[in-house]
């Protein structure tokens, strides 16, 4: 078994796709005609968005993300060589800043924002492989 | 169309229906039926050749159908002349030629939907009826009291009753479609325990979770 998808339930799938394109430079890989499901080009593990309505269709009960309240207890992390530029871009395209880039004792640069739906997104540098 | 006489249990989902019923042996005899927001199951008895078509309204459209009578409409069923008294247009049209959207136009007063309520309904459904009222009100950007007024004023039901209906349907679906064992369904459905779930099933369905009746009509919530 492998991690294939991370699927975030959102209020508006096309709006979220457009936001992720602008704020994080991702591109859309697929969107269903219903506008209730879309996938981004994120390599082997796909980041996808599903409409909140889809939760009910799938028999799930979810607490929708709320930008005005505390975030849900999980995050997506994007890895880039230039954390500072990615952070600036994200914030200038509508992300709420949570923590500006800072260097961790283990050498990684880490920053946090929240997206339009209030989800936590981490932007970090790769961790150097232990030799 | 029914191919054999029988009975079916129609489960309540808090929404109103406008139904036109007739039998193929007497196609000119049309029986309009209007239901108020339903919180109790009812049994429909039908004959060979019975057909029916109609509209199930979005929950917040109940007020556009019942107008000033909404307060007294909960669990009410109007048949024949009583339905025509509420919607006089039902008397004067050949329903067989009537398109459903036209029927909606004739039956419903101009809608004045509050988008906060629509948003709250969507979130309530996504949460399987489990979200707390205070949190739901925050999503809707109003106070819990005002949200309850919006629910009562538009759907005819209070926030809590509507949430309990959503919770009941989701839990029933966990058992029937998800094939989840009853005890697990109670927890995932958000009931405190088995007894709590059983009380809700009795109230809204008239049966207990361990003995589901065979001919249940499970409304597709929000299917339009």
CATH number at residue A109: 3.10.180.10
Q: How far does A62 lie from chain B, in Å, by closest CA?
A: 5
Residues B120 and B174 placed together within one structural domain of the fold? yes
Domain final residue, candidates A10, A33, A64: A64
Residues 6+ apart with CB under 8 A from B97: none
Is A55 touching B (CB cutoff 8 A)? yes
Q: Lowest-confidence range among A27-31, A83-87, B5-9, B91-95?
A: B91-95
* pLDDT value of position A77: 97
**Across chain A, what does the average pLDDT equal?**
95
Partners of B125 on chain A (C-beta within 8 Å) are: 53, 56
**What are the C-alpha distances in Å from B146 to residues A113, B108, B143, B177?**
33, 24, 5, 36
Domain final residue, candidates B85, B107, B129: B107
Residues B151 and B179 placed together within one structural domain of the fold? yes
Segment A37-49 mean pLDDT: 97
Domain that holds residue A104: 66-131
Task: Spell B7-20 as b/e; 16+ CB within 10 A means b.
Answer: ebbbbbbbbbbbbb
* pLDDT value of position A41: 97
Give the pairing type, strands B50-56 and B216-217: unpaired
Residues B97 and B23 placed together within one structural domain of the fold? yes
Residues B103 and B10 placed together within one structural domain of the fold? yes
Q: How far does B151 lie from chain A, in Å, by closest CA?
A: 20
The count of domains in chain B is 2
Kindly tell me if the per-residue pLDDT of B223 is higher than 50.
Answer: no
Answer yes or no: do B130 and A59 touch at CB < 8 A. Answer: no
The Cα A37–Cα B198 span in angstroms is 35
Distance from the Cα of residue B148 to its chain's centroid: 18
Q: How far does A59 lie from chain B, in Å, by closest CA?
A: 7
For residue A10, the domain's CATH number is: 3.30.720.120
Q: Is residue B41 part of a domain?
A: yes
- pLDDT tens profile B128-185: 999 999 999 999 999 999 999 999 999 999 999 999 999 999 999 999 988 889 999 9
Residues A56 and A88 placed together within one structural domain of the fold? no
* pLDDT value of position B224: 34
Give strand pairing partners of A28: A40
Partners of B170 on chain A (C-beta within 8 Å) are: 56, 59, 61
Residues A73 and A45 placed together within one structural domain of the fold? no
Segment B65-93 mean pLDDT: 89
The Cα B203–Cα B59 span in angstroms is 20
Segment A57-84 mean pLDDT: 94
Residues B29 and B101 placed together within one structural domain of the fold? yes
Domain that holds residue B168: 115-214
The count of domains in chain A is 2
* pLDDT value of position B12: 92
Q: Which residue has the tokens 């979200």?
A: B131
Q: What percent of chain A has pLDDT over 70?
A: 98
Segment B67-75 mean pLDDT: 93
Residues B135 and B58 placed together within one structural domain of the fold? no
Segment A69-83 mean pLDDT: 95
Q: What percent of chain B has pLDDT over 70?
A: 91
Residues A86 and A122 placed together within one structural domain of the fold? yes
> Is the pLDDT higher at B112 or at B59?
B59
In this prediction, residue B222 has a pLDDT band, given cuts at 50, 70 and 90, of very low
In this prediction, residue A94 has a pLDDT band, given cuts at 50, 70 and 90, of very high
Answer yes or no: do B126 and A55 touch at CB < 8 A. Answer: yes
- pLDDT tens profile A51-69: 999 999 999 999 999 998 8
Residues A59 and A8 placed together within one structural domain of the fold? yes
Q: Is residue B1 part of a domain?
A: no
Pick from B33, B51, B36, B44: nearest CA to B9: B44
- pLDDT tens profile B190-203: 999 999 999 999 99
Q: Lowest-confidence range among A3-12, B37-46, B75-84?
A: B37-46
Kindly tell me if the per-residue pLDDT of B123 is higher than 80.
Answer: yes
Residues A38 and A97 placed together within one structural domain of the fold? no
* pLDDT value of position A49: 98
> Is the pLDDT higher at B81 or at B214?
B81
* pLDDT value of position A44: 93
Residues B19 and B51 placed together within one structural domain of the fold? yes
In this prediction, residue B221 has a pLDDT band, given cuts at 50, 70 and 90, of very low
Residues A93 and A34 placed together within one structural domain of the fold? no
Answer yes or no: do B122 and A61 touch at CB < 8 A. Answer: no
Q: Which residue has the tokens 């981004």?
A: A40
């Amino acid at each position: 078994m492998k991690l294939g998808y991370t699927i975030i339930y959102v209020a508006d799938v096309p709006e979220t796709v457009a936001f992720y394109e602008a704020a994080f430079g991702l591109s859309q890989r697929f969107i269903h005609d219903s506008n209730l499901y879309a996938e981004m080009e994120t390599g082997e593990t796909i980041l996808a968005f599903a409409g909140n309505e889809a939760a009910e269709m799938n028999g799930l009960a979810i607490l929708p993300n709320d930008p005005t309240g505390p975030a849900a207890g999980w995050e997506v992390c994007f890895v880039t060589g230039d954390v500072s530029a990615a952070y600036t871009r994200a914030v200038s395209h509508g992300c709420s800043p949570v923590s500006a880039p800072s260097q961790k004792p283990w050498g990684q640069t880490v920053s946090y924002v929240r997206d339009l739906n209030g989800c936590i997104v981490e932007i970090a540098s790769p961790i150097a492989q232990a030799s | 169309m029914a191919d054999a006489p029988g009975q079916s249990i129609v489960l309540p989902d808090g929404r109103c229906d406008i139904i036109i019923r007739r039998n193929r042996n007497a196609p000119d005899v049309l029986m309009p039926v209007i239901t108020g927001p339903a919180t109790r199951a009812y049994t429909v008895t039908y004959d060979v050749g019975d057909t029916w078509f109609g509209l199930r309204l979005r929950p917040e459209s109940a007020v556009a159908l019942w107008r000033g009578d909404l307060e007294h409409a909960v669990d009410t069923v109007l048949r024949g002349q009583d339905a025509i008294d509420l919607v006089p247009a039902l008397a004067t049209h050949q329903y067989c030629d009537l398109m459903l959207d036209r029927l909606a136009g004739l039956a419903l007063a101009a809608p004045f939907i509050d988008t906060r309520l629509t948003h709250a309904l969507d979130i309530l459904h996504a949460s399987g009826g489990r979200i707390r009222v205070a949190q739901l009100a925050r999503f809707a950007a109003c106070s819990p009291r005002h949200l309850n007024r919006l629910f009562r004023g538009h759907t005819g039901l209070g926030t809590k009753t509507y949430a309990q209906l959503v919770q009941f349907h989701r839990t029933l679906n966990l058992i029937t479609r998800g094939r989840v064992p009853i005890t697990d369904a109670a927890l995932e459905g958000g009931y405190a325990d088995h007894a709590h779930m059983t009380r809700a099933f009795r109230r809204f369905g008239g049966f207990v979770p361990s003995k589901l009746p065979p001919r249940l009509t499970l409304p597709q919530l929000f299917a339009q």
